[in-house]
Amino acid sequence: MGGQVTSFENVHVVVVGGGFGGIAAAQDLKSRGIKFTLIDMRDAFHHNVGALRASVQPGFAQRTFIPFKETFGESFVQGRVERIDTDGQLVVLEGGREIRFSHLILATGTDGPFPGKFNTTASRQEAVQAYEDFVKQVQAAGSVLVVGGGSTGAEMAAEIRTEYPDKKVVLIHSRTELADPELLSSVRDQAKQVLQEKGVELLLGQKVSNLSELPLNVVQKDTVVTTDTGITVTVDLIISCVGLKVNSAAYESSLAGSLADNGALKINDYLQVEGFFNVYAVGDCTDVKEPKMAYHAGLHAAVAVANIVNSLSGKELTTYRTGNVTLLMALGRDDGVGQFNGYRLPRFLVALGKSRDVLVWKSWWDMNQKQP
């Protein structure tokens, strides 16, 4: 554990990970005039809420990657964090560069299969190109199989049928209900209804038998896929929307004693990593029992930054409390389902508020940049 910091002059907050949690923390620190460094392996923030729209609509991807430098200038460093030295209060990057911190905010999020996630070291241009290339694969396929019917898989299937209503789209899901288990069952039923109305073929309560052997994200005409119940489907393109895992590589060796089984960081009510007063964690890499959402990552960031300030000024720390689940699912650009504060929302309202542009405007606004 590092030594106590007593004055703002010696404060240097390092934020590892520039996802929704990381940029919210960095913007908060910037607005308070606190010295900080934001580190991400990429040169641009990924509004991955829009990743699935970017997978079907040509030209959309460039709206989902927002350069860090324009917003954070010299306070942004591109690099992959390999290790944290908590005794020396250092963050160690690939290649050996060390950055000293007085306080650390870990916001390394989760990784998962493309196109839902894009956690690769790549320039903005390469990232945008990866999505544009993927759109061409979707366009070239006569039929598409989406594996996994959580929120990402359900949204993926809906996006394809909305943009390309002539394509056959099959969704295979291991459970009988779609979307996040934390959602009201009436919202989950409605998600199923929307997909059926859009003509998505649902194979529920079964698993793809040989997923690891199947070609993903590239057109391979007439690929035969079998489920564990013996059903066979023949498709041209397979997209996996299963298997999110916590990005723990940056801290797993140094914070081994504070890790949950899945690599998430155990934190206290103030969002401090267990055993440390100056190391905080926010967003998907925490083991807070709530749905993993961009919205929650932003709320965490506000509490972590407030608590850094409170601790420095000798004030009581703020507690983070999970509220009622608020979640909006865009099911194509013209439809959606969701709930607010425990109540199911009308579909047209979700379509209007979220689905039309999957809230890209908000991230450009948060990054204080003009959308292209």
Interaction site with ligand FAD (CB under 6 A) = 16-22, 39-42, 46, 48-49, 51-52, 80-81, 107-110, 116-117, 119, 152, 247, 249-250, 283-285, 292-295, 297
- Judged by CB, which is closer to ligand FAD: 2, or 19? 19
Do 141 and 133 touch, CB atoms closer than 8 A?
no
Q: Closest Cα partner for 309 from 23, 28, 19?
A: 28
Q: How far apart are CA 58 and CA 132, in angstroms?
A: 6
Judged by DSSP in three states, 274 sits in coil
Q: Which two tokens stand for residue 266?
A: 């155990």
Q: Closest Cα partner for 223 from 207, 208, 237?
A: 237
- Judged by CB, which is closer to ligand FAD: 20, or 364? 20
Q: DSSP of 27-42, one letter per residue?
A: HHHHHHT--EEEEESS
Residue 249 CB, shortest distance to ligand FAD, in Å, is: 5
Residue length of the chain? 372
- Judged by CB, which is closer to ligand FAD: 170, or 297? 297
- Judged by CB, which is closer to ligand FAD: 5, or 45? 45
Residue 233 CB, shortest distance to ligand FAD, in Å, is: 23
Judged by DSSP in three states, 331 sits in coil
Residue 147 CB, shortest distance to ligand FAD, in Å, is: 14
- Judged by CB, which is closer to ligand FAD: 2, or 116? 116
- Judged by CB, which is closer to ligand FAD: 188, or 292? 292
Residue 174 CB, shortest distance to ligand FAD, in Å, is: 18
- Judged by CB, which is closer to ligand FAD: 312, or 330? 330
- Judged by CB, which is closer to ligand FAD: 84, or 312? 84
Judged by DSSP in three states, 330 sits in strand
Q: How far apart are CA 103 and CA 209, in angstroms?
A: 46
Q: How far apart are CA 335 and CA 143, in angstroms?
A: 22
Residue 137 pairs with which residues in a beta bridge? Answer: none
Residue 96 CB, shortest distance to ligand FAD, in Å, is: 14
Q: How far apart are CA 146 and CA 344, in angstroms?
A: 26
Residue 136 CB, shortest distance to ligand FAD, in Å, is: 20
Sign of CA dihedral 261, 2, 20, 212: negative
* Coarse DSSP helix, strand, coil percentages of the chain, rounded to the nearest 5 percent: 35, 25, 45
Q: Where on the phi/psi map is residue 358: left (φ > 0), alpha (ψ -120 to 50), or beta?
A: left
- Judged by CB, which is closer to ligand FAD: 180, or 236? 180
